[in-house]
Structure 1
């Protein structure tokens, strides 16, 4: 059994996006350590009259772990808490006069800073235990307090509680924001994936209708060949019968697949799928919506899958013009061109900027289905798609779809 290697602890605020925020805990710890160490030695040895060696040892134990608190605040608290209590007991052996006891001001400053670091790292249960230990130490030291100093015992308890509460609140707020950002990222990725899957399912249903038509034609031709062609040899008749049976079986499998893809609410999709011949109707509807459109049609026969893809691309492009650039002059053209891989159908939809910016968008926040659907359709037939804004403020959609059947079947 292999042991799991423990990852080294991260510094406080190490996940911040800005560099100065990541360096802030180290800077604060360094300033506190550098300023409090000589101050503590001077106050304990000169003002309180503690032995110089003991004062130096206590000062180092009370301040040096502040640097460790940036990475391991709880371990630093163990050292500093013990050193502060030991320092308070050590001061009972000297005459402190009117000075503060049990914790001088510089010890309080260091301890409050340590409690803030604890709040930024440790869970609520640990913070509560730390505060109870601090309060318990203050109560215990109160029983041995010199005359006139008992009123100072509650100061560290109050300030440490405030620092722990503040640090814990900041940590929990940061964690909530981080989880929210992660959830939004996951939701956006899931939304994009769902959009793609929905579009693929829709395309699969439409392609099924196209292929099913051809399979039905094959079945009919194979079944009627014996009646349409005289003098067929028996082996040829048997071959046609086998072709018809295979075609019917394949058609049945495709219909079963369609039953999985479709549901009860999609009866409208049982109608024949549109093609190039119906692009003119799209243009007329767009003109009635107030968008001037110049249309260059293409009347030649193309594979049904290509015609369907061209129709859907023009449909989505014109819908985007109506939504985002109402009234913008638009040009739609469908033409055939020769390319290195063979003949291609070029679909081009270009709109200029709208005559005047709309007072309010027709849709708040698009779903993103349009471009996803365009790209998926073009990909399935082996074509290319180029979309993007124009320098004058318009938009261009250009798709090239291969006309050779072998490119996409």
Structure 2
């Protein structure tokens, strides 16, 4: 409610300016209703209106309002009309011009204000000692108002630069995340290509060998083997074509076997040797999974333990648990490190990579600080396509 009120009020600039001018009007109200100081109440009210009325548009037309108020005050001085509370409008106009416009406009407004101080001292003060004191006081007020306007102008410029920098950093972060996601997809494409291409290549070789090895005249078996060979070749060609679109470049990389769940013991032992105590448990009966899914499980555990090493802090302990369900495997990596208090520069993309990998097989990853301290990564990977 309060936020909506301020949003509505920020669009009503004349109303806000009138609110800030109201105290000066109330200060002059007793003299307007009674007898003006050295003048009639009507003249006093007219002068006050000419000085305070333009302030309603102070932030809408700052330079015009300051010029009008300055001219009215100049005529007032020339006609030897005593100062009134409404003359404070000069200072309000000076502040607005200095805060809203370039330095040269603020300096020009300050010089006009200083000229008014000279004229007011010359017209209304008699005696050298009193004149000197009054002039110094007027000059100090004008200078103080000008400096306040400069300070506000500098502060606004700084806040604008901070907002622009924050917006730019947010855009750059989004771009970095997108680039990281694209790079991760390319890496996943290469790894999946290694796994799938190897299996399909074995099918092709076996089918070709069976096709040439058959010495009988079992035509149906031969045609079936030939169909396997043809289908395998087509699948391999299509897989290479689709995954080639995701590659960062057109280079052909050597195939290499990828790690799976059986290599998790080696990974845990490697992390232990680096100084991080890790416990590793497996619940349930390990089920057959495709090599791509095993690779996803391995990479998620690897990334989670890497984050624990980087952000967990001293004396942190990690626990890795694999739980095989009926149709999915759950990976849970928990540590008792810093958790939400860990420093984050916003440039890491490991969690993005985890989610991208799990999403390939319809899985999900939840990574968040634990309420009691530490960090927790929970991933669920379906073991079959229908799951």
| Equivalence for 1:68 | 57
Higher mean C-alpha displacement, 50-59 vs 155-164? 155-164
Deviation at 1:401, TM superposition (A): 1.1
- TM normalised by structure 1 equals 0.70
Deviation at 1:316, TM superposition (A): 1.7
* Aligned residues between the structures: 362
Matched, 1:82 2:61: no
Deviation at 1:308, TM superposition (A): 0.5
Write the deviation string for residues 103-139 of structure 1: whole angstroms up to 9, x where unpaired. Answer: x37455322122223334x331xx6346536746976
Secondary structure of residue in 2 paired with 1:404: coil
Matched, 1:344 2:332: no
Q: Which residue of the other structure, out of 300, 323, 327, is the alignment partner of 1:335?
A: 323
Separation in 2, partners of 1:91, 1:241: 105
Separation in 2, partners of 1:283, 1:364: 25
| Equivalence for 2:3 | none
| Equivalence for 1:119 | 98
Query: Would you say the 8 A contact 2:9–2:16 is kept in 1?
Result: no
| Equivalence for 1:305 | 292
Secondary structure of residue in 2 paired with 1:290: coil
Secondary structure of residue in 1 paired with 2:367: strand
Separation in 2, partners of 1:294, 1:232: 56
| Equivalence for 2:29 | 38
User: Over aligned residues, Cα RMSD in angstroms?
Assistant: 4.4
Provide closer, same or farther for how the CA distance between residues 241 and 328 of structure 1 changes in structure 2, counting only shifts above 3 A.
closer
Separation in 1, partners of 2:196, 2:35: 92
Gap regions ≥5 residues in structure 2? 1-7, 126-130
Write the deviation string for residues 343-378 of structure 1: whole angstroms up to 9, x where unpaired. Answer: 112223333x36xx8xx98x8747432322222222
Query: Would you say the 8 A contact 1:386–1:397 is kept in 2?
Result: yes
Matched, 1:207 2:192: yes
- Counterpart mapping for 1:226-245 below 5 A: 226-229=211-214, 230-231=216-217, 233=219, 236=223, 239=227, 242-243=230-231, 245=233
Return the structure number with greater helix share. 2
Provide closer, same or farther for how the CA distance between residues 172 and 294 of structure 1 changes in structure 2, counting only shifts above 3 A.
closer
Q: Which residue of the other structure, out of 153, 165, 179, is the alignment partner of 2:150?
A: 165
Deviation at 1:400, TM superposition (A): 1.9
Write the deviation string for residues 211-252 of structure 1: whole angstroms up to 9, x where unpaired. Answer: 222332343244334213343549937745643552453254
Separation in 2, partners of 1:116, 1:11: 21
Provide closer, same or farther for how the CA distance between residues 109 and 403 of structure 1 changes in structure 2, counting only shifts above 3 A.
same
| Equivalence for 1:17 | none
Write the deviation string for residues 63-83 of structure 1: whole angstroms up to 9, x where unpaired. Answer: 2333433x5252xx5245324
| Equivalence for 1:5 | none
Separation in 2, partners of 1:285, 1:161: 67
